[in-house]
Structure 1
Amino acid sequence: MLSYDELTSSEREVWDAFPEGHRVDLRTGVPEEDRVAASGQWGSGRTVRATVIVALLLGANTVQSGAVGCLRLVGARISGHLNLAGAQIAHDLWLEDCWFEEGVDLSGASTQSIAIVGSRVPGVEAGMIRIDGRLDLRRSRLESGSASPFHRRVTALSLINATVSGAVNLNGAEITAPGEWAVSAGGLVAEGGVYCADGFVAHGEVRLMGAQLPGGLHMRGALLERPGRRGVALALDNAVASTLDFSDGFTANGTVRLRGARISDNLTFERAVLNGPPDGHGPSLVALLMQAVDFDFTLARQPSAAVDLRGAQVSYLHDNEHSWPGVVELDGFVYGSIKVDEAGERREAVGRRGSVAHRLGWIRRSPGYTPQPYEQLASWYRKAGHDDEARRVLLAKQRHRRHTLPRAARVWGHLLDVTVGYGYRPWLAGVWILALTLLGMLSFSTHAPTPVQRGEGVPFRPLVYTLDLLIPVGGLGQRSAWYWSNDGLQWLAYLLIAFGWVLTTAVIAGVTRALQKN
């Protein structure tokens, strides 16, 4: 148990100020001397032992009646290990511009608001903490310490299964754990949201898997770096948030993973940069099964690696010319509306010149053939009242599918395409029939056929005879009454009969397919 006589002068100042929550500032007022980077030169006059801070927070100096105790310390060197694991803390803690010789352990603690602002800390362990207030680590530098025998990974900031009734403020902080986890906060519940803006930098993976963030995650302008093969810069698997803000220069040098994340409002990457893993192995964005209302993917430049949106569902999609890399996984991606960003203005993509060709090129960035992206795009056009564009999309789907079929099926597919456009261009059959009718009429009118029975039957009419050959069902009485002694014209008659069957079969198959799709 600490006694007052054992305290240094700076520690006594902190001790005396605590009961009424007064602020103790140990800075000299000289900027060069007060910089945290120069803390190695801070002597005993600016040093406060961690055990003194622990003792005060656990009730060593009784708070006076009518006062609110609070530990407020600025510009101190904290010596020793600040260990408050499992503690029940009834007072706020505010440490500003301090330099910690060792890490801070708050795991399992129950406490009021905690602020470690503008400070340098070897690491903060706060797993399972319960904070009735906010956690403020603004402008602080957190660096991972050495790994323990019980933990394979080193984490600079651990908030695993932590509960914070206010916000987690990491604005301007720099968290370093190269090759490891800079932030490990799986299962975090932050009612007021998590703020990582204003120059936030993380060297190492930021993990918020399964986090509950009613106040959202705000990473405007943040820089995330995760070196290594298949490096993940940010993992938000199965997280639930009101909004995810990765805008205004947000840069991820590693994969951003939103697998199964559910965003009740806005997910934005406006003017963001997604570089993917530095070694080129792995995608830039994985949003498999992600759900969001508004998905703004208007990036500052094209992602360097693939984007995976398989199974994702959004109500509104915003994109621009920089949004899509060479590979985009779209199988199962469902959207209700698409808007494009042009010259800073958001406009409906449907009905714009070149819209269909652009969107088909987008779909063809998916590896292999999958029908759902075509069906989804056609459905979007159809709901917007653009049936012609929808048919163009479905025709493109059939043409893409044809490349996956056996040779015989591909031949039949080509025939359907040329004759009736797979049923989405039925007018082509009329063009073929008209062309063949003109060919037959002109050819047959140059010669006289031989009657099957002389003096009997209907008079020869080249037009009616040609139509009789092209129509495979029923008859007009011409085909059975006349034949040709000229081999060339007889073979032309056979060819027209064959074309008649092919056209009729193609029309039936194509129209049936079109009716099924509509």
Structure 2
Amino acid sequence: MTAQVRADDITAWVERLTAAAERGEPLDLAEGLAADSAARNPADGDKWGPDRQIPAAALRTVLIDRNLAVDPHGVRINGARIIGPVDLENVKFEHPLHLTACRIEDHIDLTGSTLKELNLNSSHIKSLGLDQATITGGLFANDGFTATGEVRALGAKIGGQLSLNGATLTNSDGYALSLDGATITGSLFAADGFTATGQVRAIGANIGGQLSLRGAALTNPDGNALYLDQATITGGIFADDGFTAAGEVRAISATIGGQLSLNGATLTNPDGDALALDQATITSGLFADGFTATGQVRALSATIGNQLSLNGATLTNPDGNALTLDQATITGSLLAEDGFTATGEFSALGAKIGGQLSLNGATLTNPDGYALSLDGATITGSLFADDGFTATGQVRAPAATISVLSLNGATLTNPNGYALYLESSDITTLRLTPAHVDGTTDLTRATITDLRTSPKIPPLGRLIATGWQITDVHGLIRTDRLAATQWLKSTPPGHGFTAQPWHALAAVYDRNGQPADARRLRFTAANETTAHAPWSTKPLRWIYLAVAGHGYYPLWAAVWLAGALLLGVFITDHNTEHFVPTDRAAADKTAAAHAAETHTPAPQPITAADSCSRYPAYPCFNTFNYTLAGVLPAATGVTKADWAISSTAPAVLTLGLPALRTLAWIFTVVLLAGVTGLLRKG
């Protein structure tokens, strides 16, 4: 309960404060108490008697007194209980204000105020407002400083440092510390046991020195623990040596002039992002060795000027991405060795890594998705995933550009899908000698200058390699064609068969002076093509097989040619009523003459379905000869065109016979090419 303040008390305290300010002496109300006395503890300030209770109104009166000749030491109060709201809004006090080891039970309002220095070391306060305030020196709230409400300094200007070492800020339903838009010329220290319950935020703030959070503990599990979006921190961020955060740590679009150090830190936000650094610029590297994160660690489109080190780190986000570096630029290396583990996807889509990406001995686990995603990434150095590297889930780098990709001794496990997916990637050297592969290796359209495999066994896992380009190979498949055949035949069911990978490897054999191996590999590919063709190409392959036996049976074309002729005869014979004389007048004349002689009516009009006896002087329609001339391009004894298809004939005649003629041409060409040896076998 706030003590009652009498006017006489205010006057008396004004006199005491004025005298102390003029002499430059502190007003120490705990003087004479033992250093370990409970009476010195502001936590028990509600028990302090009237002799230590300063009315807030008295403090205001002194600070706004323009006639007061204040000593350069300013106003210094220690061990007091300040009663009532501390209304110092827009106060201009060009001297230090020290309220140390005090108990301040109401809000301190310094909005728009100007001070030379503010010292709140060891004090216990309710809340503090410094919006748009100017402190030409530093702000100190160390050594057990405690706030049970928001400490707020939006747009404030602090000419020195802001020090919160060992402070405790508690505002679980809102912001513990708000520094949005603030300018701190020096450093911000919130280390050495600093704790905050509620959000710590400095959106768009400008910190001229470093931000130190070493050993700090931030707690805001349902939101942001640390919010530094668009902030500029010239001297780097140090959140290591046991730093913990429950809730999201974010610095999206922030500019960090030095390094970001998270060595040994623990970030926990299981339902969201543990660390968000999207579009951030970190000049001197990100170091997170031994780092632990529960929730996603993300740095989309971030720029890291030196290396990113995650050696020994543990990242856990089983329902999403454990680490997201999509479109990030890392000018140095990305190191994730020495027991690094990621549960959830490790994603660096389109990232640019100027040095190496080292995953030696790392463990990546995402059994229902991608363990490692490097789609479109550019790695100027090498990608080392050796020495016990383990991935459960797909390892993928489609369309990536990598100097050396080494998987010596690695274990890749994704039994129901791709264990290694390198479609359209450009790799100078691919060292594919893993200890174990359970899944498919996809090298579709990959460009590999040098493929190095085991010298003793064929490459492990199933292979898809449509469109790959290989300059050279080493290992068993270089000298053992059967080993190469075994690997090429391992394409999993449902992916079809293409001869291109066989021919690409055969070309390597040709270049290496192994023409016999090259010919046998191509021959085997030809025999495998039909059996393993995808459904989209099977109809054409079936036609090729039926017509010419895939080039090995060209006389089958003669059978199809005869079939086309017989089908044409059948169609013609069953549609004679749709054939009419080409010389209608001549046909009508002979029909009329025959009708006059026999006293029978003449057919009108005349069709090939009518008996030839009714127009004896006009050439009779011959089904076989007409079909032979109309369908078979190489037919002899071409019949004069005495008959034609009527304009009302059905499509089976107007389209069917020309289609058969086209097919007959094709069959004839295939037959002639096969007979003369021009048709390529295989």
CA gap of 1:367–1:465, structure 2 versus 1, over 3 A, is closer
Secondary structure at 1:337 match in 2:
coil
Q: Does 1:388 align with 2:404?
A: yes
Structure 2 distance, partners of 1:370, 1:83, is: 57
Counterpart pick for 1:236 among 206, 228, 231: 228
The letter for the 1-side match of 2:310 is: D
Structure 2 distance, partners of 1:502, 1:86, is: 95
CA gap of 1:429–1:493, structure 2 versus 1, over 3 A, is farther
Structure 2 distance, partners of 1:306, 1:419, is: 34
Secondary structure at 2:120 match in 1:
strand
Match of 1:247 in 2: 240
CA gap of 1:69–1:336, structure 2 versus 1, over 3 A, is closer
Cα displacement (A) at 1:387: 3.3
Higher helix share: 1
Using structure 1 for the length normalisation, give the TM-score: 0.70
Secondary structure at 2:62 match in 1:
helix
CA gap of 1:463–1:61, structure 2 versus 1, over 3 A, is closer
Match of 1:185 in 2: 179
Map 1:345-360 to 2 at 5 A. Answer: 350=356, 355=360, 358=362
Q: Does 1:102 align with 2:106?
A: yes
Structure 2 distance, partners of 1:68, 1:387, is: 65
Q: Does 1:141 align with 2:146?
A: yes
Quick check: 1:334–1:376 contact (8 Å CA) kept in 2? no
Structure 1 distance, partners of 2:331, 2:357, is: 15
Structure 2 distance, partners of 1:74, 1:19, is: 17
CA gap of 1:309–1:463, structure 2 versus 1, over 3 A, is closer
Quick check: 2:355–2:381 contact (8 Å CA) kept in 1? no
Match of 2:272 in 1: 282
Structure 2 distance, partners of 1:26, 1:415, is: 79
Secondary structure at 2:300 match in 1:
coil
The C-alpha deviation readout for 1:83-121, integer Å capped at 9, x for no partner, is 111122122101111111211000111221111111111
Q: Does 1:265 align with 2:258?
A: yes
Match of 2:27 in 1: 24
Structure 2 distance, partners of 1:437, 1:494, is: 27
Cα displacement (A) at 1:236: 0.5
CA gap of 1:369–1:166, structure 2 versus 1, over 3 A, is same
Map 1:158-169 to 2 at 5 A. Answer: 158-169=152-163
Q: Does 1:329 align with 2:324?
A: yes
CA gap of 1:471–1:201, structure 2 versus 1, over 3 A, is closer
Map 1:56-71 to 2 at 5 A. Answer: 56-59=62-65, 62-63=68-69, 67-68=71-72, 70-71=74-75
Structure 1 distance, partners of 2:185, 2:94, is: 20
Structure 1 distance, partners of 2:134, 2:303, is: 34
The letter for the 2-side match of 1:321 is: G
Structure 2 distance, partners of 1:399, 1:107, is: 60
Quick check: 1:189–1:211 contact (8 Å CA) kept in 2? yes
Structure 2 distance, partners of 1:187, 1:89, is: 23
Match of 1:47 in 2: 53
The C-alpha deviation readout for 1:34-53, integer Å capped at 9, x for no partner, is 21111111111111111111
Structure 2 distance, partners of 1:39, 1:438, is: 84
Match of 2:309 in 1: 318
The letter for the 2-side match of 1:239 is: A
Higher strand share: 2
The letter for the 2-side match of 1:381 is: S
Counterpart pick for 1:15 among 14, 18, 22: 18
Which structure's CA Rg is the greater one?
Answer: 2
The C-alpha deviation readout for 1:43-98, integer Å capped at 9, x for no partner, is 1111111111111111265217xx43611111111112111111221221011111
Match of 1:198 in 2: 192
Secondary structure at 1:177 match in 2:
strand
Counterpart pick for 1:74 among 58, 69, 78: 78
CA gap of 1:39–1:85, structure 2 versus 1, over 3 A, is same
Structure 1 distance, partners of 2:207, 2:197, is: 23
Quick check: 2:127–2:151 contact (8 Å CA) kept in 1? yes
Question: What is the Cα-based RMSD across aligned positions, in Å?
Answer: 4.5
Match of 1:513 in 2: none
Secondary structure at 2:240 match in 1:
coil
Quick check: 2:97–2:115 contact (8 Å CA) kept in 1? no
Structure 1 distance, partners of 2:271, 2:176, is: 21
- The higher relative CO (CA closer than 8 Å, separation ≥ 6) is in 1
The letter for the 1-side match of 2:181 is: G
Structure 2 distance, partners of 1:195, 1:464, is: 71
Q: Does 1:36 align with 2:42?
A: yes
Map 1:280-429 to 2 at 5 A. Answer: 280-315=270-305, 316-326=307-317, 327=321, 328-338=323-333, 340=335, 350=356, 355=360, 358=362, 361=364, 373-376=374-377, 378-381=379-382, 387-389=403-405, 396-399=420-423, 413=444, 422-423=468-469, 426-427=472-473
Structure 2 distance, partners of 1:251, 1:308, is: 17
Structure 2 distance, partners of 1:343, 1:181, is: 38
CA gap of 1:464–1:396, structure 2 versus 1, over 3 A, is closer
Q: Percent identity?
A: 22
Q: Does 1:207 align with 2:201?
A: yes
Secondary structure at 2:154 match in 1:
coil
Secondary structure at 1:172 match in 2:
coil
The C-alpha deviation readout for 1:426-469, integer Å capped at 9, x for no partner, is 43899589738999xxxxxxxxxxxxxxxxxxxxxx96995797
Structure 2 distance, partners of 1:90, 1:96, is: 19
Quick check: 1:369–1:400 contact (8 Å CA) kept in 2? no
Secondary structure at 2:404 match in 1:
helix
Quick check: 1:299–1:323 contact (8 Å CA) kept in 2? no
Extract unaligned runs of 5+ from structure 2: 1-5, 340-353, 384-401, 411-418, 426-440, 448-462, 486-514, 526-547, 554-679
Quick check: 2:10–2:55 contact (8 Å CA) kept in 1? no
Cα displacement (A) at 1:492: 11
Extract unaligned runs of 5+ from structure 1: 145-155, 402-409, 440-461, 473-489, 496-500, 504-518
Cα displacement (A) at 1:6: 5.8
Using structure 2 for the length normalisation, give the TM-score: 0.54
Quick check: 2:262–2:291 contact (8 Å CA) kept in 1? no
CA gap of 1:288–1:302, structure 2 versus 1, over 3 A, is same
CA gap of 1:251–1:421, structure 2 versus 1, over 3 A, is farther
Structure 2 distance, partners of 1:273, 1:75, is: 36
The letter for the 1-side match of 2:244 is: T
The letter for the 2-side match of 1:97 is: A
CA gap of 1:256–1:11, structure 2 versus 1, over 3 A, is same
The C-alpha deviation readout for 1:177-200, integer Å capped at 9, x for no partner, is 112111111101101121101111
Quick check: 1:437–1:466 contact (8 Å CA) kept in 2? no
Structure 2 distance, partners of 1:163, 1:36, is: 28
CA gap of 1:300–1:87, structure 2 versus 1, over 3 A, is same
Structure 2 distance, partners of 1:220, 1:253, is: 15
CA gap of 1:11–1:389, structure 2 versus 1, over 3 A, is same
Structure 1 distance, partners of 2:522, 2:101, is: 95
Cα displacement (A) at 1:14: 2.2
How many pairs does the alignment contain? 421
Structure 1 distance, partners of 2:335, 2:77, is: 51
Cα displacement (A) at 1:368: 6.1
The letter for the 1-side match of 2:248 is: T
Q: Does 1:83 align with 2:87?
A: yes
**Farther off after superposition, 25-34 or 291-300:** 291-300
CA gap of 1:427–1:117, structure 2 versus 1, over 3 A, is same
Counterpart pick for 1:435 among 481, 488, 512: 481
